[in-house]
């Protein structure tokens, strides 16, 4: 069913766009949880109307999408066409892409299950992550490791795990506060008092002031864009900013 919905969705988007269309930033979840394209430029966004599935979780790298519904985990192409799908238990999912924007990992918190993309499908990794802590975000820093931002006793830790064994390779306490998101570039986006923080791998932090409502999660919505409720955060070096996304959010 999800294939049919997304096929219709992609066709509708294609027919709806004029010969000269605004650039596509990525895909977002609207207030109803619908997986929708977002077009335009920073501060001037357009969300076309189209038939699309309601998703529990979603992320988009600029090249591929990862979506989770109540019963399915799926990979899509840039046009929201299904590449691969598998049955999955109900509940949310966390996603990670490679630096090239390809699918890498999916984590199902309700069952502490980590899945790895093999180029054609997701395969379950046979180790138990139930004791790692409350996982807030995952990353794929290289082909041998998975990275987890986890909350333990009100502190967020950066934990790196060897994919071949499931054993922790390193652990370090951070100053991040949830919600927080780790991107494939190593950039971390999170909430802090009075706005958001963009933390680069070299340790530089950029504060983006904003009057924030309650936001429970953040997720990647484009190559250098992150959705946080009804905000889009741009992480592009030298062009960082936070923008209201009309019609989306709590």
* Boundaries of every domain in the chain: 2-244
Reply yes or no on whether the pLDDT at 50 is more than 70. Answer: no
Cα 221 to Cα 47: distance, rounded to the nearest angstrom: 13
Place of tokens 């969705």: 9
Q: What angle do CA 182, 186, 188 make, to 5 degrees?
A: 40
Q: Which residue has the higher pLDDT, 233 or 22?
A: 233
From the list 203, 199, 194, 204, the residue with the least C-alpha distance to 235 is: 199
Reply yes or no on whether the pLDDT at 52 is more than 90. Answer: no
CATH topology (fold) of 2-244: Neuraminidase (2.120.10)
Residue 2 DSSP SS3: helix
Calculate the average pLDDT of the chain: 88
pLDDT tens for 139-170 read 999 999 999 999 999 899 999 999 999 999 99
43 pLDDT tier (thresholds 50, 70, 90):
confident
> What's the whole-model pTM score?
0.88
Residue 44 CB neighbours (<10 A): 9
């Amino acid at each position: 069913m999800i294939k049919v919905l997304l096929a219709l969705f992609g066709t509708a988007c294609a027919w709806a766009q004029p010969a000269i269309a605004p650039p596509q930033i990525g895909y977002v979840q609207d207030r109803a949880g619908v997986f929708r394209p977002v077009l335009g430029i920073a501060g001037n966004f357009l969300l076309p109307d189209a038939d699309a599935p309601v998703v529990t979780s979603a992320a988009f790298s600029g090249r591929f999408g990862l979506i989770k519904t109540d019963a399915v985990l799926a990979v899509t192409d840039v046009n929201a066409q299904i590449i691969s799908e598998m049955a999955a238990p109900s509940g949310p999912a966390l996603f990670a892409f490679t630096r090239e924007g390809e699918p890498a990992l999916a984590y199902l918190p309700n069952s502490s299950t980590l899945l790895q993309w093999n180029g054609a499908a997701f395969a379950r990794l046979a180790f138990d992550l139930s004791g790692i802590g409350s996982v807030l975000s995952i990353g794929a820093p290289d082909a041998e490791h998975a990275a987890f931002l986890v909350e333990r006793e009100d502190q967020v830790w950066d934990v790196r795990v060897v994919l071949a064994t499931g054993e922790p390779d390193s652990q370090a306490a951070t100053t991040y506060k949830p919600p927080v998101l780790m991107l494939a570039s190593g950039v971390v986006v999170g909430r802090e008092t009075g706005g958001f923080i963009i933390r680069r791998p070299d340790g530089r932090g950029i504060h983006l002031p904003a009057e924030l409502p309650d936001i429970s999660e953040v997720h990647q919505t484009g190559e250098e864009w992150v959705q946080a409720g009804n905000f889009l955060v741009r992480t592009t070096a030298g062009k960082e900013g936070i923008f209201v996304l009309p019609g989306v959010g709590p």
